[in-house]
Structure 1
Amino acid sequence: MIRVKWSLLLIVAAVACGAAVDRADRAERAASGMNGTAQDTVGPAAPPGEPARAFPSPMRPVADIVAPRWSDEDDRDDVGEFARVVRLAKIGRGQRIADIGAGDGYYVTRLSPVVGATGQVYGQDIMPDYLALLQRRVRREGMRNVQVVRGDAHDPRLPAASVDVAIMIHMYHEIEQPFALLWNLATAMRPGGRLVILDLERPTYGHGTPPSLLRCELAAVGYRQLSFTKTAPSEYVAIFTAPDSTARPTPASISTALSASPCRAPGGD
């Protein structure tokens, strides 16, 4: 019962935030004459990778995707979230960054000036409504170094060897097929590329990821942890090196290894 109440509270808060975004977006579209049709359509940036069926399913709940942003942008700026992630991830001018699960663009709009004209930002998501919001925001703010990309739940659909740093902000627990997504993401990573995950130390049904579970799932695909930083009482930033796409475990070997030693949430959540 406590678990259900907690999940409902999270969903209500996120839906309220999403409703505010939707109202603002409708007002903007009405003022600009935009009708949200073909001009906002975006697609993948790469051919399909390995299918989801080639990988085992995670042995833990998957949280629902309920809103295009985690919380109010001003509040996040006030606590220094973006600046802290950029510093820990060592993101700078000229780099190519992928925001996986970009929503309506909190990180994308702030990353664009950080990487500059010689850099590239991929704003990737799987939700059509969120992609439309992001596409319009990118166009409105004139961010020429941003490409909006529609991915699949198991595949980011990013160009091969195109990404220096991929970030996943408050969304890892929403990934239906983490092993496939991580495997396909490795194809898009440049040698030495880093994956940066910001999440909460909560069960996945409570919109967080226990660190031990996170480490297990990433290690199964060949990712190696570089650092783990507590950024708030229940928040952390974990940074991993992506495996070389030619040396990562095969889908079959991942399935075999996880069958023998599955990644389980602490306490069986």
Structure 2
Amino acid sequence: MATRAPVTLLAVATLLLAACDGSQPLIRKKEKEPGPFPAADRPVAGIVSPRWSTEEARDRLGEAGRVMEFADIRNGMTVADLGAGEGYYTIRLAARVGPNGRVLAEDVVPAVHEGLANRVARERLDNVSVRLGLPADPRLPANSFDRIFMVHMYHEIEQPYAFLWRMRPSLRRDGLVVVVDANRPTKQHGTPPRLLRCEFAAVGYAQVGFRELRSAGGYLATFRAAGRRPDPAEIRACRMA
């Protein structure tokens, strides 16, 4: 044992020197979790189904085509489909952006996520990735998306201010968030447009487009990041009139 001690001490000394040469910290500091964020001052709808309507009925109304046209979805874009459900928009976005584009489909329900992953694999959609999100954090990579779709799901987000705050850095410079929802109270699975605009503005987004869209069950609103992202303590919750 005595003959091995110098070797052990030398090894420890070498590791300490390597850690202290400025290239690697001895103790890694854990990043501080932002927050607390204000709670939503309105009811939050429960997740009742992975689909809003049947795909056949939606296609008969031309829903996806109109939404993608108004959102200016083009070949080669990178798009996130949040609350993707069974993949109605995921599949159609994949065709629209083409092989040079990318679609990230995300859902927070494990069983729905698994079903969508199976569909993507079955239909061999090589430009689509599927991942499991978190209720208060979409976990999107920074500066990555030209468009972020939120279709008939915004009223189901339990912590909208935390979710939007964490989502904001993932938009590219001219990126847009595309929200499709119904004009009714959140407890009735919709979001009044005034409330939607207020909640987005509270986290540093500006509304840049709005149109009624009955074929999609209500309206389409688009937002882009504007100004600085506020500190969570500065965010004030909006109230539903």
What is the TM-score when the length of structure 1 is the normalising length?
0.75
The 1-side partners of 2:33 and 2:151 are apart by: 24
Higher Cα radius of gyration: 2
Q: CA deviation at 1:117?
A: 1.0
The 2-side partners of 1:133 and 1:56 are apart by: 33
- In the TM superposition, 1:187-266 aligns within 5 A as 187-232=169-214, 235-243=218-226, 247-254=228-235, 258=236, 262-266=237-241
Gap regions ≥5 residues in structure 1: 1-48
| Residue in 2 that maps onto 1:87 | 69
The 1-side partners of 2:48 and 2:97 are apart by: 29
Structure (1/2) with the larger helix percentage: 1
Q: CA deviation at 1:201?
A: 0.6
What is the TM-score when the length of structure 2 is the normalising length?
0.84
Number of corresponding residues: 210
Q: CA deviation at 1:138?
A: 0.2
Kept in 2: contact 1:50–1:184 (CA 8 A): no
Report the CA distance shift for 1:206/1:146 in structure 2 as closer, same or farther (over 3 A).
Answer: same
**1:212 counterpart SS class:** helix
Among 121, 126, 146, the alignment partner of 1:144 is: 126
Percent identity of paired positions between Structure 1 and Structure 2? 49
The 2-side partners of 1:54 and 1:95 are apart by: 34
Q: CA deviation at 1:51?
A: 5.3
Kept in 2: contact 1:149–1:158 (CA 8 A): no
The Cα RMSD (Å) is 1.7
Q: CA deviation at 1:187?
A: 1.8
The 1-side partners of 2:117 and 2:175 are apart by: 26
What is the one-letter code of the residue matched to 2:240? Answer: A
Report the CA distance shift for 1:50/1:96 in structure 2 as closer, same or farther (over 3 A).
Answer: farther
The 2-side partners of 1:182 and 1:149 are apart by: 18
Gap regions ≥5 residues in structure 2: 1-30
**2:207 counterpart SS class:** strand
The 1-side partners of 2:214 and 2:32 are apart by: 36
Please list every run of at least 4 consecutive aligned residues from structure 1 whose deviation after the TM superposition is greater than 3 angstroms.
49-53
The 1-side partners of 2:140 and 2:93 are apart by: 17
What is the one-letter code of the residue matched to 1:213? Answer: L
Q: CA deviation at 1:54?
A: 2.1
What is the one-letter code of the residue matched to 1:239? Answer: T
1:154 to 2:136 alignment: yes
Q: CA deviation at 1:88?
A: 0.8
Q: CA deviation at 1:50?
A: 8.2
